[in-house]
Structure 1
Amino acid sequence: MSHPLVSIIIPTYNSKAYVQEAAASALSQKYKSIEIIVVDDGSTDDTRDLFPEFEAKGIRCFYIDNGGASNARNYGLEKSSGDYIQFLDADDILEPTKIEKQLNLMRLHKADLCYSPWVIFENDISDAHKQFRFSYLDHSLKRTGQEIMISYGMDNWFILTVAWLVKKDLIEKAGFWNPAKCPNDDGEYFSRALFWSEHVVCCNEVLSFYRKTANDSLSKLNSETKIEASYKSFKQIESLLLTCRNDKLMSYPKRMFYMQYKLVKSNYPDLAKRAAKNFDRINAPSFLSDKIYYWWFINRFGLYTGTKLYTLLKPIWGLLKRN
């Protein structure tokens, strides 16, 4: 059997404290037909001092002007030669058999994408704790990318960047990452990848570790700029999915607008109202329909007002039930 090349692309920005561990996890892969590419996105913490050590181990290193993680990933893609791509953020870690197990499964099922469960950790993977539930964990099942997105919307879950292995042919269809800095850059990119993917498989083992850091500010919706960038990415995803004319598929962007509403309603009420209006506007099913009473209020009064009324009346119902 041939051994296709897998490119592991590691964008890094001021992550000198972590990137050695990420690179070591790439070097430790049991599957050996790999190339590792580190792209320093204009770091100011002397990350480049690690380059000689990395290059001595066969890692290809590049320094570019700061343009954001997506821009650095695109640069890595341009420099890559692999038939498959593993995106690895500088503070995350791969389990040693990740590439081997996912690649074998993809080749067996002729899949474009493979994902697996991951766990979250803060300081050391020995302290890792499990992420929430996943869907479609059966090794033998092949799903389309659009079926995965419907499940995102209806089952309320998602897949992190580190959990994927991507066939290069699919990237050529989906295009490069959007270089604009955005908390949802991975969501927007993998929505395009899923849109074009005919076969997605799951390797049902924990094969990656996502580090939660105190300085992970880009992923937090703590400014109007970040909220606006995420909102625009949701609209882009919605526009793409509208071309399919599938109401169930629209449950995915509907869920995203709900999540933004929920995350920003305390500090940015006007932007929360905008997200809620978009949730109401999309005529699609929702995972919230399982919450029968809450769903009734949302359908009757809209997400923003319905949530307020439901929250106000819920304690009264509790008293009535006890009496």
Structure 2
Amino acid sequence: MDKITVIVPVYNVEQYLDRCVNSILNQTYRNLEIILLDDGSTDNSGKLCDSYKDERIVVVHKKNEGLGLTRNVGIKKATGKYIVFIDSDDYIDTTMIENLYLDLKKNNADTCIGGFKRIYKDRVVNSVNPYAGKIVEKNEILTSVLSKMFGKSGNNNDYLEMSVWKVLFSRDIIVRNRIFFPSEREFISEDIIFDTEYYSNANRVYMSSDVGYNYCDNEGTLTTRYNPNRFELQEKLYLELDARAKKLGIYENVKARIDTTLVAIARYSIKLEQKFSKQNGRRKAFSNIKRICNNSTLEKVLLDYNLEESKKSKVVNDLIKNKNYHLLWYTMLLKNRFGI
């Protein structure tokens, strides 16, 4: 059985770390190298990392750099044939790594992509890989795998979650091609940047039916926290993915997907501006909403944007397109108060 390296960035997660680490230690697949990367934690996370008594664990304490750059430290220290990334506020089922490994070996693949479970306070939602059971060869990986990670296309259900934490990666592909993560402080989604480089070098991908990764909807995560620059960061990612798609020859496959994502993030960013207007001040919030609506990239996308979406989304899209700021404000007020 090949050694598998599990890379776990750790930052101020003392309330979740035991759950995460124990779920890795209890894996049915035993030949693991577990790298815990304390990214300058200011709580007890660093001490917790040092407290685990298992010879498979390697602990690294480092200055704070963020998720992407911390994962890179793990990649450089990894010695396993394969690599798994796990976020320290999540956890995995006891059979996840074994299932992904057996699926990969059985199908002679270098990469195996599973699904995941989204864990809410009151429910659990399974997100099965929509292509489970499929083998994708090198000449189809860009169009059949990577393209699907660029975002949803209207109401189609063919989106592949681009997050790296439910995938068994080949360390050889990563190292040989010098593939690393950018900082999430540079791109709002460092995973998709990594994916564009990794999957363009993969040779055979297997789509697993495993849903052993548990993604927890914890309060205060990067995706739920207010960020005044959220939309501008998304625009930067949009332009980067636009350029990469053209270079990889998959632009026509992903154009609708990156457009849909940009418009969706515009709606969400405006909603958050209204939601946090009491803390930030109504005048500032209104100014930020105007700034988003007048963004030249968004204006260009909305000019001929007619992808299939819900009626509620279309109404908001039209309000943004027509710069109807006041009606947009009250629409988001209703959404925030009543969830309509």
TM range, normalised to the smaller chain?
A: 0.7 to 0.9
The range that moved more, 77-86 or 177-186, is 177-186
The match for 2:211 is 206
Q: Percent identity?
A: 19
Counterpart mapping for 1:4-15 below 5 A: 4-15=2-13
Q: TM-score, normalised by structure 1?
A: 0.79
Residue aligning to 1:147: 144
CA distance in 2, matches of 1:116, 1:206: 6
What amino acid sits opposite 2:125 in the alignment?
K
Q: Is structure 2 residue 164 aligned with structure 1 residue 161?
A: yes
**Residues in 2 aligned to 1:130 and 1:215: alpha-carbon distance in whole angstroms:** 20
Matches of 2:25 and 2:107, distance apart in 1: 26
For residues 184 and 204 of structure 1, the distance between their equivalents in structure 2, rounded to whole angstroms, comes to 25
The residue number in structure 1 matching 2:118 is: 120
Work out which of the residue numbers 84, 104, 117 in structure 1 matches 2:82. Answer: 84
* Larger deviation, residues 237-246 vs 144-153: 144-153
Aligned CA RMSD, in angstroms, stands at 3.3
Evaluate the alpha carbon distance shift between residue 71 and residue 55 of structure 1 in structure 2; reply closer, same or farther with a 3 A threshold.
farther
Q: Is the 8 A contact 2:135 2:204 kept in 1?
A: no
* Partner residue in 1 for 2:173: 170
Contact 1:145–1:197 (8 Å) recurs in 2: no
Q: Classify the secondary structure of the residue corresponding to 1:110.
A: coil
Q: Does 1:264 align with 2:269?
A: yes
Match of 2:131 among 127, 133, 136: 136
Per the TM alignment, residue 280 of structure 1 is displaced from its structure 2 partner at its CA by 4.1
Counterpart amino acid of residue 215 in structure 1: G
Cα distance, 1:208 vs structure 2: 0.9
SS in 2 for 1:215: coil
Change beyond 3 A, Cα 1:98–1:133? closer
Q: Count how many residue pairs are aligned between Structure 1 and Structure 2.
A: 298
Kept after mapping to 1: 8 A contact 2:118/2:127:
no
**CA pair 222-272 structure 1, distance change in 2 beyond 3 A:** farther
**What letter is aligned with 1:141?**
I
Amino acid corresponding to residue 102 of structure 2 in structure 1: N
Q: CA deviation at 1:264?
A: 1.4
Q: Deviation digits for residues 69-117 of structure 1, max 9, x if unmatched?
A: 1111111111111111100000111111111111122223333432222
Which runs of no fewer than 5 residues in structure 1 stay unpaired?
313-323
- Distance in structure 2 (CA, Å) of the matches to 1:146 and 1:98: 27
Equivalence for 1:320: none
The one-character-per-residue Cα deviations of 1:98-150 (angstroms, maximum 9, x if unpaired) are 11111122223333432222112246xxx65114575212x143251432243
Structure 1 distance, partners of 2:188, 2:262, is 14
Unaligned runs of 5+ in 2: 274-287, 329-340
Shift in Å at residue 59 of structure 1?
Answer: 0.9
Matches within 5 A, 1:44-63: 44-63=42-61
